[in-house]
Amino acid sequence: MSQSAIELVSIVDDDPFVRAATCSLVRSIGWEARTFASASDFLASGVPSRTRCLICDIQMPAMDGIELLECLEREGLRVPTLFISAFATARTRERVQASPALCLIEKPIDAAELEVWIGRALGRG
């Protein structure tokens, strides 16, 4: 399979351990994964337009995940997004429900749940 045929899953999380574990999981399923420590790193990478699924932490410094998704939408990019959070408050849940994101997965991430949601994001679920 050519590199361009592999669907890219981008992971944005300020926690290096979560980034590494999520990246390993995504790659073990068979998708290409790229990781970013912040929303601004992701936006500056040139990768957003190639991203078929975005896995993004909600609570990050500078720009949170919901603000990142709003920024992508303003640029005309509709990227299927899975939010992850260790702090899923009622307010956070309301913000996610009001956004175009597909879901909110609580940390620690359940591998099977993540695989199902990535499949849905890529139109396979």
Instruction: Tell me what pLDDT residue 124 has.
Output: 76
Q: How many CB atoms are closer than 10 A to CB 98?
A: 9
Per-residue pLDDT of the chain (125 residues; tens, 9 = 90+): 434 457 899 999 999 999 999 999 999 989 999 999 999 999 999 999 999 999 999 999 999 999 999 999 999 999 999 999 998 899 999 999 999 999 999 999 999 999 999 999 998 76
Phi, psi of 16 (to 5 degrees): -60, -30
The neighbour count for residue 85, using CB atoms within 10 Å, is 20
Helix-, strand-, coil-residue percentages of the chain, each rounded to 5: 45, 20, 35
* Predicted local confidence at residue 4, as pLDDT: 43
- Integer CA distances (angstroms), 2 to 13, 20, 94, in order: 28, 24, 40
Domain count, the chain: 1
Q: What's at 61, amino acid-wise?
A: P
Output the domain CATH number for residue 105. Answer: 3.40.50.2300
Strand-strand pairing, 51-57 and 32-36: unpaired
- The model's pTM is 0.93
**What is the domain extent for residue 109?**
3-121
